[in-house]
Structure 1
Amino acid sequence: MKQTDMNIFAQLESEVRSYCRSFPTVFTKAKGYKMWDESGKEYLDFFSGAGALNYGHNEDSMKEKLVNYIMSDGITHSLDMATQPKAEFLETFNEVILKPRNLEYKVMFPGPTGTNTVESALKLARKVTGRTDIISFTNGFHGMTIGSLSVTGNAFKRKGAGIPLQNVVTMPYDSFVNEGLDTLEYLERFLEDGGSGVDIPAAMILETVQGEGGINAASFEWLQRIEAICKRWGILLIVDDVQAGVGRTGTFFSFEKAGIKPDIVCMSKSIGGYGLPLAITLIRPDLDIWAPGEHNGTFRGNNHAFVTATAALEFWKDPEFEQNIQKRSELIYSFLESIVEKYPEVKGEVRGRGYMVGIGSEVEGLSEKIAAEAFNRGLIMETSGPKDEVFKLFPPLIIDDAGLEAGFEIIEASVKTALEAAEPVAN
C-alpha cells in the first residue's frame, strides 16, 4: 500500500490543526480501544476522541444498526422534521436515562457540537430571566464560538476570538486558590453586596470535572452549595456535561452522585454513541419558552446519530455496565496514585473522577514529554491544563482489564524515560 505523504497536511491544511501534531502518523483503522496506522503499528487509545468515543471505535451493535439504516435508504438529513429515529431516541432516552434517575427534561437539538448546546443554554437562560450576565469559573472550557468562549477561562483560546468577550463574570472554581479558601463564600459575598459591581446573573455554568482546564474535580459538597446559591438568588444552574457526561466520570451524568438537579444540561460528544455529531440541551420543562425556530441549526436532525445514540443506550439497561465502570475507575485511580508515590520526581497530583483522570505535574514540560513518549510506545493520550501540566487518561468505557494493564505498563515506562531524560548529565 502506498504510504501517505505527511507533507500533504503541512502544505494544504490550515496551521490551526493540532492533534495531528501530537500524534504524527496516518491512522487507517480502529476497533474497540485500539487504533492502527498505515504502517500497521498498533496503538492503545486512551484518548477516546477527547471523550467522543466512550463506547470505543466501531462498536458492533451500533455499526450494524447504522449500516442497515443506511442500506434501507433511511432519512439522513431532516432539520427538525419528525423522523422515526428521532422518536426512538427521545423515547429511549426518557425511559432508560431520565426516568430511573427521577429527572424530567425537555430535549432540544441545537446543532451537532458541544459549543452549539452551550450557546443554546446561554441564550435560553438570558431569555428566561431577562438578565444579561453569566457567572463562569476559572479554568472552565465550554467551546470555541463567541458565546461559549466568553465563559471559557483559557487565555490562549479567548484571544482567538479577536474581540472583547463580555457579559461574563469569572469566579474561582473549587480549590482554585488553595484547599483552605472557601470559594463559594467569596462568590456569595459578591452577590450579596450591592457595591461588588457584580449583578445577579442569568445563570452559572460549570463542569463538575474540568476537562481541558486540568482535570479539576469539584467536591460534591461544593456542587450542592452551588445549587443552593442558585436557588436562593433565582439563578439558573447550567451543567456542561459535554465531556464529563455519558459515563465518563462513573455515572451517566457527572452530577448524579452530588445529588443535584441542574436547570439546564449540555451534552454532546459521546451522546451520539458512535462518534457521529450530535448534541442535546436538556431543559427543565417550565423553562422551555423558545418560540419555534428561535434557535436552530441545519444539522440538528442527524438521523444517523439518532440511530447509534439509541443503540448506545442499550448499554445502560444493564446495571452491570455502570458497576464495571466504577470498579475499573478504582483500578485506574490506584494506578495513578502508585505512579505519584513511586516517582516523587514527577511532583505529581492525581486528579479527576471515573475514566476522566490524570496526573498534574509541577515539573514544567514533563507531562508533554510523558505523553509524547507514550505515543512512541503505542499509546495515545493527551495533556490538559493552562500549561499542559496534566497528562490525562480517557480510555473508552468498554476497555477490559487486559487493555488497562497494557496501557499502565506503557505509561509507567514513559514516566521513567521522561524522568531519565530530564536528569542533569553528570560531569
Structure 2
Amino acid sequence: MTIFDRLESEVQSYARSFPVTFDKAQGEHLYDTNGKQYIDFLAGAGTLNYGHNNPVLKQALVDYIMRDGITHGLDMHTSAKGDFLQAFNEHILAPRDMEYTFQFTGPTGTNAVEAALKLARKVTGRTSIVSFTNGFHGVTLGAVAATGNSHHRGGAGVALGDVNRMPYCGYYGRDADSLKMMDKLLSDPSSGVDLPAAMIVEPVQGEGGLNVANNDWLRGLEKLCRKHDILLIIDDIQAGCGRTGTFFSFEASGIKPDIITMSKSLSGFGLPFAIVLLRPDLDVWEPGEHNGTFRGNNHAFVTAAAAIRHYWKDDKFAEDIVEKSAIVSHRFKKISDRYGVTQMQPKGRGMMQGLACADGETASEIGRACFDRGLIIETCGNRDQVVKVFCPLTIDKGELVRGLDIMTDAIAEVLDKALEKKAS
C-alpha cells in the first residue's frame, strides 16, 4: 500500500482516475515520478489557464518572495493588493466600461458564492435564491443548496432550502421559452415561488455538462431580473479568465451583472484566490461582517497582476484563444459526423468544449483510454457522459492537435470495440 492508500480519505476522486504520482509540471505537460510525460487537458479543473509554472508569473512571484514581500495580511492594505486592483481595473474593467467594488473572500470559488448569496439576501431582505438545472456553484452549504447535482447535494447531511430551481437555457429543448415560464411563476402570487433575492447562473455550465446559455437568453434573463427587482449573479468561476475567448464569459451578451463571482484561474498560478465583484451601491456590509482568515492571498495578488498585464494588455491573447477554439470545434465536428450526434455530440464554447457520449460508462472508458496514451482528461455532465477538453489556454497548437489526436484514437478504440461487441 502507498502512503496515500494508508492515510488519505476515501473522498479523493481525481487520484482514482489518474493512478500515478505526479512530480513535475510545465506548461501543458505533467510528469510522473517515473518521468512519463502527459498532456494536460484538465488544467486543475480550469485553475491553470496560463499553464503549469508559467515562467512570467513564476518570476514575478519569486522576485516578490525574495524581497520578503507580505505573504499573509488578512484584509490589510498591501502593495501587492494595490497592484492587483490597479491592474484589474486598468486592463479588465475600464476597457469594458465596468465599475465594480471588490470583495476579497475566502480563497475558493465556493467562498465567493457564499458571500454573493449572503450579500444578495442582506441587500434585498429576501431569503430565497433562484438557481438553474445542472448548475454547479460549490459544496459548502449555501453554495451546494444552489447546486443541482444530487451527488454533491447528498453529501450535505442537512436539508438544503431557500433555493428554487428554474430551467437553464435549452433544458426543455430549443422550442420551450423558459424565460416566459419564469416570468409567469414570478408574476403569479399563487405560483408558490417566492420573489427571490437573486438569480445565480453560469453562462457556460462547466460541471453541468458544458451547456451554453445563448446571448438572447442571457439578455432576457437580465431583463427578467430588472422587471422583478431581482439581483443577477453571474458565476464566472470556471468559465471566466479567458476560458471562452473573452475575459468574462458573458461579454458577448452585453449584460451588466449586479454581482460576479470569480476564482480558479484568477491567480493564474494555481494559488487559491477568489473575489466578488459587486455594484458599488450594493456594498452594504458592516466592517468584518463577512470575513475569513485567508481573504488576502498576497502571493496570488502578485501572479494575478502579472497575468493580467502580460496576457490582457491587448487583444492578442483573446484572438489566440479563438483560433485554438476553432481547432477543437473542427475536430469535434469531424468526430461527431463520423459516429453520429447520439454517440458523440459536441458541447460547450471556446476552450471549454467536450463530446457528449451515449452514457457515462462510455465517457469513462474514453477517459481511461486517453490516460493510457498519455492524455489527462476528465468527464462532466449530469451523468458524467461528457468528455471535457479543458487544456491550458497557452497550450502550444502542436500539442493541442497531438492531444486531440490521442482523444480521437481513444474514442475510436472504445466505440469501435462496442460496435464489434454489438455485432457479435
Relative to the length of structure 1, the TM-score reads 0.97
Classify the secondary structure of the residue corresponding to 1:392. strand
Classify the secondary structure of the residue corresponding to 1:357. strand
CA shift at 1:345, angstroms? 8.2
What residue is the counterpart of 1:389 in the other structure? 385
Query: Which deviations, in whole Å up to 9, do the C-alpha atoms of 1:378-410 show, x marking residues without a partner?
Result: 011100011101000001110121011101110
What residue is the counterpart of 1:326 in the other structure? 322
Answer yes or no: is the 8 Å Cα contact 2:198–2:231 preserved in 1.
yes
Distance 1:308 1:114 in 2: 18
What residue is the counterpart of 1:3 in the other structure? none
Classify the secondary structure of the residue corresponding to 1:169. strand
Distance 1:187 1:149 in 2: 22
In structure 2, relative to structure 1, the CA distance for the partners of 1:426 and 1:222 (3 Å cut) is closer
What residue is the counterpart of 1:208 in the other structure? 203
Query: Are residues 1:254 and 2:249 paired?
Result: yes
CA shift at 1:364, angstroms? 4.6
Query: Are residues 1:177 and 2:177 paired?
Result: no
CA shift at 1:422, angstroms? 2.0
Distance 1:12 1:288 in 2: 44
Distance 1:156 1:215 in 2: 18
Answer yes or no: is the 8 Å Cα contact 2:137–2:235 preserved in 1.
yes
RMSD: 1.1
Query: Are residues 1:54 and 2:49 paired?
Result: yes
Query: Are residues 1:44 and 2:39 paired?
Result: yes
Classify the secondary structure of the residue corresponding to 1:40. coil
Distance 2:375 2:254 in 1: 36
Classify the secondary structure of the residue corresponding to 2:312. helix
Distance 1:269 1:383 in 2: 18
Pairwise mapping of residues 26-425 of structure 1 onto structure 2 (< 5 A)?
A: 26-314=21-309, 315-344=311-340, 347-423=343-419, 424=421
Query: Which deviations, in whole Å up to 9, do the C-alpha atoms of 1:108-149 show, x marking residues without a partner?
Result: 101100000000000000000000010000000000100000
Classify the secondary structure of the residue corresponding to 1:170. strand
Classify the secondary structure of the residue corresponding to 1:123. helix
Q: Which amino acid aligns with 1:333?
A: S
> What is the total number of aligned residue pairs between the two structures?
422
Answer yes or no: is the 8 Å Cα contact 1:52–1:270 preserved in 2.
yes
Q: Which amino acid aligns with 2:192?
A: G
Query: Which ranges in structure 2 are unaligned for 5 or more consecutive residues?
Result: none
User: 180-189 vs 126-135, which deviates more?
Assistant: 180-189
Answer yes or no: is the 8 Å Cα contact 1:115–1:148 preserved in 2.
yes
Query: Which deviations, in whole Å up to 9, do the C-alpha atoms of 1:151-192 show, x marking residues without a partner?
Result: 000011001001110100000101112221111111111001
Query: Which deviations, in whole Å up to 9, do the C-alpha atoms of 1:68-109 show, x marking residues without a partner?
Result: 111111110110011000000001100000000010000110
Q: Which amino acid aligns with 1:230?
A: C
Query: Which deviations, in whole Å up to 9, do the C-alpha atoms of 1:235-261 show, x marking residues without a partner?
Result: 000000000000001100000001101
Q: Which amino acid aligns with 2:172?
A: V
Distance 1:389 1:396 in 2: 22
Once the two structures are aligned, what percentage of the paired residues are identical? 54
Answer yes or no: is the 8 Å Cα contact 2:359–2:383 preserved in 1.
no
Distance 1:344 1:138 in 2: 26
Distance 1:26 1:268 in 2: 26
In structure 2, relative to structure 1, the CA distance for the partners of 1:226 and 1:74 (3 Å cut) is same
Answer yes or no: is the 8 Å Cα contact 1:346–1:363 preserved in 2.
no
Distance 1:81 1:161 in 2: 33
What residue is the counterpart of 2:3 in the other structure? 8
Q: Which amino acid aligns with 1:393?
A: V
CA shift at 1:425, angstroms? 6.5
Distance 1:364 1:323 in 2: 34
Classify the secondary structure of the residue corresponding to 2:151. helix
Q: Which amino acid aligns with 1:298?
A: T
CA shift at 1:318, angstroms? 2.6
Q: Which amino acid aligns with 2:350?
A: G
